[in-house]
Amino acid sequence: MMSKTNCVAEIVSTDGVKHVAWVEKAFDVKAASLYRDEKTDKEKNLMHGAVTLNGSDIYFCDDIMNTGKCAQGVTLHLNVDDADAWFKKAVAAGAKSTMEMQDVFWGARYGRVVDPFGLEWSFCHQLPNANSQEPKKEAASPKASPAAKKRRGE
């Protein structure tokens, strides 16, 4: 019986074992489990891999059913104490920056990478002097999204 309830991302990867190894290297964690399908001689036969990263479990598996839907439309967002440090670790391990670390309108430090397997990661921490007035600047901007303008009553 499960002792906790939560939502866990399961990433279907192009190479689950190597993907887990990349996460271990990039973020200095160890896989909790790696279960391969021993009945098949397929090279990519990871049925279940698990890592705990920043207090949350993430599961990995290979695309054993050949769906071709590997890491599509998913971003793993990490709220951390030092987003710049996490970003640098990911890039040092082979991820490519898709949005350099920067101070963003909602009062946070934020950046994005894509790992060698095509999975997007974002890293964020709140800035110490952030205040509730910052998001209002974005809504007043000519570039503000319609949703942001609606939230601000424009």
Q: Which residue segment(s) compose the domain that 7 sits in?
A: 1-67
pLDDT range class, residue 138, cuts 50, 70, 90: very low
Dihedral pair phi/psi, residue 18, rounded to 5°: -70, -35
Q: Which whole number is the average pLDDT over 103-131?
A: 90
| 49 vs 40, more confident | 49
Q: What is the pLDDT of residue 154?
A: 60
Do residue 106 and residue 151 come from a single domain?
A: yes
Q: Give the mean pLDDT of the chain.
A: 82
Decide if pLDDT at 132 tops 80.
Answer: no
pTM above 0.75, yes or no: no
Structurally, how many domains does the chain consist of? 2
Cα–Cα dist 130/59, whole Å = 34
Specify whether 151 is located in the same domain as 81: yes
Nearest residue to 52 via CA among 74, 20, 91, 90 = 20
